[in-house]
Structure formats: C-alpha cells, structure tokens
Amino acid sequence: MPDSKTTVPSVTRSKGERKLVVITAYDAGQAALAEAAGADILLVGDSLAMVVLGHPDTLSVTMDEMLHHVKAVSRGASKALVVADMPFMSYQADVAEAVRNAGRMLKEGRAQAVKVEGGAEIAPQVRAMTASGIPVVGHLGLTPQHVAAFGGFRVQARTARDARRLLDDALAVARAGAFALVLECVPREVARIVTGRVDVPTIGIGAGPDCDGQVLVYHDLLGLGGGFSPRFVKRYDDLGARTREALSRFAAEVRDGTFPGPEHGFAMNEAEWERLAS
C-alpha cells in the first residue's frame, strides 16, 4: 500500500514500475475500507446507477446524483486518488458543458480527476478539460454508456479491424491528455498491445493480466451484487450471503423476543419511579 498520497503524476510514473489497484466506491465508509486495503485509486463509477440506485444500466444517473456520492467518497479518502465518472450526457454534446461539469466534480465533489467514455470523438473534451487543470482518465472497449448502440453488454474489439480502431482511439485519447485509460471487456491480446503502445497506464476490467492495473466494482468483488455477475469478476467474498444471514438472525430474534436482551437496554431509578407513581 502506498504510504504517501496518490497523485496524478505518481499514477503516470507507476507505468512499468508497479500495478495500480483501483476499486470503485460510492460512500465514505467504502472509501475508507478500500483505501485501508491499499487501493491507489478510488473510482466513483457511474456503476452507482446499477449497484446503488437500482437502475438496469448507467444511462439514467445524473450529475447531481454522482456529485452527492463523489463528495462522500472524497470525505472518506485521505491517500487514494479519487476519480469521478462523468455521467451519460454530461460531456458528450458540447465541449464547454463538458468542462463545466467536469469542473464541478473537482470544485464541489473534491475529486482529483474525472473519467469519460469514448475514443477520438471525445478527444476535444479531453483536451479542453486537461487544459483547464482537470485530469482525465479515458475509458475504452465496452463503454457501458453505449449500451443502446452495442445492443447489450458484450466483449468489444474481437476482430482485427475493431482492435485497430480501439488502438487508434486509445492513442487519440492519450494524445489529448488523458493520464490513464480504463480498458473494459476486450481480448487480452488487444489490451496487451494497447498497453505497450500508449505511454500512460492502462487499467483493465475484463481485459486480461497485461494491463498496468486492474479495477473491479466494490459490490462485485465482495459478492454484494444481485444475481448476475460477469465472467471477468472474481468474488473475494460472499458478503451478500453473510449479510442476509445476519439480517435473518436479527429478524428471528425480534420475533422470538431474544433481542433485545437486558444488556442492550437502560435501567431507570426504580425508587424514584415508586415515589412519583404513588
């Protein structure tokens, strides 16, 4: 675990030196736990929409909803770099709007960087944000904000032609100033080639072992999610089952009167009660 604070330059310098550990977080408690576990970067993902807010995809989450959670994560973090996902339609339509919205993540949310999905088409936004002092992480491959166009969540860049386009997009986003790139759900060979060609760290999710770092969604790696779990997720615990079990014991003890016991309550001065009642 890094003893000093993770900064944008320290992330850049990590390439080829050490693997970056990235965990998503959505509140102060999760941020503190992930940081204590040694995460270099806390990503306030727009996966918030799905794992916290109950939406079927990431499209509906708003700037204000994201900001609410970015603020909480920033309060819970002291050493890890906090990266805020830019939600769908907060940056795609217009460069000036993109810069203003990204600025809110730093100014109000106290994040240190933002993340945007896409390739060469969003290079102007990446360039303008970077020029304004807003560090940017790119995100290519399976970009969930394109779910409608993709027709579902599926592996990207499986053909040589698509892989070539992904590489060009990665180079365009890095050239525009992105200091790291998330690669999601692409064949490991594609991730290895992109990682070798860009001079900023790549952070993989479902992209094989050759990326410069790895990211997983907090709920997925702890088994806190619902039923479906994509193939690239490794569950390090089943806190969902353990939580259900603990909550069921509480429910049973309330119903059978075992809880609360005398040790969970407070006593009053009975002598005084007798005096008042008489």
Q: Does 47 bind ligand KIV (CB under 6 A)?
A: yes
For residues 21 and 41, what is the distance between their CA atoms, to the nearest angstrom?
Answer: 7
Which CB, 70 or 193, lies closer to Na ion?
Answer: 70
- Contact code string over 28-57 relative to Na ion, x by CB under 5 A: -----------------xx-----------
Q: Is 47 annotated as a binding residue?
A: yes
Pick the catalytic residue: 65, 108, 184, 263?
184
Pull the structure tokens for residue 210. 């050759």
Which residue, 148, 86, 74, 158, is CA-closest to 111? 74
Q: Which partner, ligand KIV, Na ion, none, binds residue 215 by CB below 5 to 8 Å per kind?
A: ligand KIV
Which residue, 17, 20, 19, 36, is CA-closest to 28? 36
Which CB, 24 or 30, lies closer to ligand KIV?
Answer: 24
For residues 127 and 134, what is the distance between their CA atoms, to the nearest angstrom?
Answer: 10
Look at phi and psi of residue 122 and say left if phi exceeds 0, alpha if psi is from -120 to 50, else beta: alpha
From 27, 46, 169, 212, residue interacting with ligand KIV (rule: CB under 6 A): 46
Q: Which partner, ligand KIV, Na ion, none, binds residue 70 by CB below 5 to 8 Å per kind?
A: none
From 6, 32, 45, 129, residue interacting with ligand KIV (rule: CB under 6 A): 45
Return phi, psi of residue 182, to 5°.
Answer: -85, 130
Of 153-172, binders to ligand KIV (CB under 6 A) are none
Q: Does 212 bind ligand KIV (CB under 6 A)?
A: no
Q: Nearest approach, Cβ of 250 to Na ion (angstroms)?
A: 34
**Does 263 participate in catalysis according to the annotation?**
no
Which CB, 40 or 46, lies closer to Na ion?
Answer: 46
Q: Does 111 bind ligand KIV (CB under 6 A)?
A: no
Which CB, 215 or 224, lies closer to Na ion?
Answer: 215
Q: Which partner, ligand KIV, Na ion, none, binds residue 177 by CB below 5 to 8 Å per kind?
A: none
The annotated binding site is made up of: 46-47, 85, 115, 117
Q: Where along the sequence are the contacts to ligand KIV (CB under 6 A)?
A: 24, 43, 45-47, 85, 182, 184, 205, 215, 217
Q: Annotated active-site positions, please?
A: 184
